[in-house]
Amino acid sequence: MTPEEILSHPARVLSEAQRETYFQMGFLVAEGLITTDWVKRLNQASTRFLDASRTVANSDEVYDIGPNHSPESPHVRRLRALVDRAPIFWEFACASLLPDIAADLVGPDVKFHSSKLNYKWPGGNEVVKWHQDIPAWPHTNYSPVTLGVHLDAVTAELGPLVCVPKSHDGPLFVHRSEDGNWTGSISEKDLSTLDLSSGIEANGPAGTVVAINCRTIHGSASNTSDQVRALPLYVYSSADAFAWMPPPSPTTRTGEIVRGNSARVTHVDPRRCPVPPDWSKIGYGSIFTAQQQQ
Ligand SMILES: O=C(O)CCC(=O)C(=O)O
pLDDT on residue 84: 98
pLDDT on residue 193: 95
Probe residue for ligand 1, chosen from 151, 167, 287, 288 as the CB with the greatest number of ligand atoms within 8 Å = 287
For residue 66, pLDDT over 70 is answered with yes
Domains of the chain: residue spans and CATH: 3-36+92-292 (2.60.120.620)
Instruction: Say which residues have a Cβ less than 8 Å from residue 253's Cβ, sequence separation at least 6.
Output: 83, 84, 90, 93, 112
**Could you identify the atom of ligand 1 that is nearest to the CA of residue 218?**
7
Tally Cβ neighbours within 10 Å of residue 254. Answer: 19
Ligand 1 mean position, distance from CA 86 (Å): 21
Segment 212-259, tens digit of pLDDT: 999 999 999 999 999 999 999 999 999 999 999 999 999 999 999 999
Ligand 1 mean position, distance from CA 10 (Å): 30
Q: Ligand 1: which residues within 6 Å by Cβ? A: 118, 120, 128, 133, 161, 218, 220, 231, 287
For residue 124, pLDDT over 90 is answered with no
pLDDT on residue 292: 75
Decide: pTM greater than 0.85: yes
Instruction: Say which residues have a Cβ less than 8 Å from residue 208's Cβ, sequence separation at least 6.
Output: 29, 30, 31, 32, 33, 34, 149, 150, 154, 202
